[in-house]
Amino acid sequence: MNESIATANPKPKTPTFRRGPNLIAVASGKGGVGKTWFSITLAHALAKMGKNVLLFDGDLGLANVDVQLGLMPKRDLNDVIRGRLSLDKVVQRFDDGGFDIVAGRSGQASLSSLPSQRLAHLRDQIMEVAKSYDVVICDLGAGIDRTVRMLSDSASQSILLTTDEPTSLTDAYAFIKLGNAAGMSKNISIVVNQASSEMEGEKTYKTLLKACQNFLRLTPPLIGMINHDPKVKESIRHQTPILTRSPNTQAAEDVEFIASKVWKSIADATKEKAEA
């Protein structure tokens, strides 16, 4: 991969706000890499581990967590944005998965261009609600716009999904580069999705890693790979989580493995904070 986005390596800035120790952001440089499916499955896997989980649909404008789960929420993030309800009042239970959801609002372009002050207020509400959960998974919009960066910066860990497609790798690199400029590069880890094999998954990761090492002097860790599995598309088509419909498939097991690593990172960070 060539460093064609910019030649300079901007000096990282230190965030001026606190991060949620149990807030996990799921991001992607481009759409179509399975980010929302992964967020749902990760939340489900953590819930199956006995954790109290909230899935926040942070794709402001193109939300589709509710669509993939076949839900028709009566309250959603738009009610919070408009000031009609506080964030805790739009939390809804997804009984089939054993976790809670804050649904987004599809087709509301205005939500993706919130003024900074209102976006910061939303972030603060997320941080407050997160205190009532073991884990909060924030499914961010694809890309690297201001909204995505602010919500990602608030997380203790950002999981960046990519595939082997050149555009996906290029945009993933752009996300890491901007994250580095914002001082959050140490909190980004990589998941390779739709890998045709373990060897190909490793090859995809190493392509991204090489660009990060050469141009940014960064080594974002690989937290896991998810094998290409036809059961994924089938579960989405039937609007049913794969851990419900096909729990013993390879893709489901791959996400469960990642979930165990995510929880370990949260537990370790919590322990370090308590001992500090």
Domain limits of the chain? 20-275
pLDDT tens digits, residue range 177-208?
988 887 777 789 999 999 999 999 999 999 99
The reported pTM is 0.92
pLDDT tens digits, residue range 216-234?
999 999 999 999 999 999 9
Residue 14, pLDDT > 50, answer: no
What CATH number belongs to 20-275? Answer: 3.40.50.300
Residues 26 and 262 sit within 8 Å (Cβ to Cβ): no
Q: Which amino acid is at 147?
A: T
Residue 12, pLDDT > 90, answer: no
Residues 194 and 33 sit within 8 Å (Cβ to Cβ): yes
pLDDT at 15: 45
Distance in angstroms (rounded) separating the CA atoms of residues 39 and 255: 10
Residues 39 and 159 sit within 8 Å (Cβ to Cβ): no
pLDDT at 145: 78
Q: Tell me how far apart the 2 most distant CA atoms of the chain are, in Å.
A: 50
Distance in angstroms (rounded) separating the CA atoms of residues 245 and 252: 10
Residue whose C-alpha is closest to residue 231's, from 212, 218, 214, 250: 250
* 99-102/92-94 β-pairing: antiparallel
145: which 2 tokens?
A: 């716009």
pLDDT at 119: 86
144-149 long-range Cβ contacts below 8 angstroms, 24+ apart: 144/29, 144/171, 144/174, 144/175, 144/178, 145/112, 146/116, 146/119, 147/58, 147/60, 147/112, 147/113, 147/114, 147/119, 148/27, 149/178, 149/179, 149/182
Q: What is the mean pLDDT of residues 66-74?
A: 92
- In the chain, the percentage of residues whose pLDDT exceeds 90 is 65
Look at 256 and 143; give whichever has higher pLDDT.
256
Residue 111, pLDDT > 60, answer: no
Q: Rounded to 5 degrees, what angle do the CA atoms 233, 248, 50 make?
A: 105
Residue 86, pLDDT > 70, answer: yes
